[in-house]
Amino acid sequence: MENKRFLEGKVALITGAGSGFGQKMAITFASKGADLVLNDINLDGLKETRDLVLKSNKSKVLLIKADVSDSKQVNDMAKETFETFDNVYLLINNAGIDGGLYTALKAKEDVYDKVFGVNVKGPLNVTRAFFRRMKRQKQFEPVRGKIINIASTAGTQNGHNPMLGIYSASKAALIAFTRIWALELGSSNITVNSISPGVFLTPIYNNDPKLIRQFLESRSVKLPLDKIGESQWVADLALFLASSTADYITGQNLIIDGGLTLSVNKL
């Protein structure tokens, strides 16, 4: 069993930490002793997350406003991080956007560029900026660091919604990168996994449960567990991956969707 503060002395960097899954993960990791580097393009959201963290934790918290799709800003973020902390044990690629409702063949080029810039290039930029330092963190053996990508059931075989074609493709790419990075970094004792949430109450749905219900009904989808997901459940799954219990898990895409991908989508 892990002790209650099993992330003490370890730093978690979370992109997209100004709301939703990122905010919940920040609070959850801090409760287990982690110090935090919180990134988002929304500085007000980051400040809100920091305040929520510090209500009940004494973690050190560094806020960095940066666009993950911009490699220079990400490299500057890495520089600032290591001027403040001596490690990043958990790297959480959480920042993501849906880009709006478009079929893949009708979306304009700027939609492709924006969605793939944040959802695919973003995690690539962040991982490239931090993995070399993570490889040298021998003090954390047997695992020197952990990378967790927040993907989506939209990127899995049975999770597609044709009106989210670009988003689905970007999340499928992130799941593929998860496996590729796991192969590349395994010999350095770094694990890489992804989490694919289904339909959750997050800002991507404007915190409107009616909107989610309308989506489910319009897609003729019935969830075997007939409830909408809560962000805390994703944070708890990420915490499991952060624990030593998951030290031998890598290259996996963990689906948390109430059975959504078991349902038949009528396209």
Q: What is 98-109 written as a DSSP string?
A: ---SB-TTTS-H
- Tokens 């997209």 locate to 16
**Whole-number Cα distances in Å, 27 to 57, 85, 118:** 8, 19, 23
Q: Which residues are catalytic?
A: 167
Count Cβ atoms below 10 Å from residue 227 Cβ, excluding itself: 8
What token pair was written down for 42? 């929304």
Contacts 24+ apart (CB under 8 A), 215-222: 215/161, 219/161, 219/265, 219/266, 220/264, 220/265, 220/266, 221/260, 221/263, 221/265, 222/263
Nearest to 97 by CA among 76, 75, 74, 120: 120
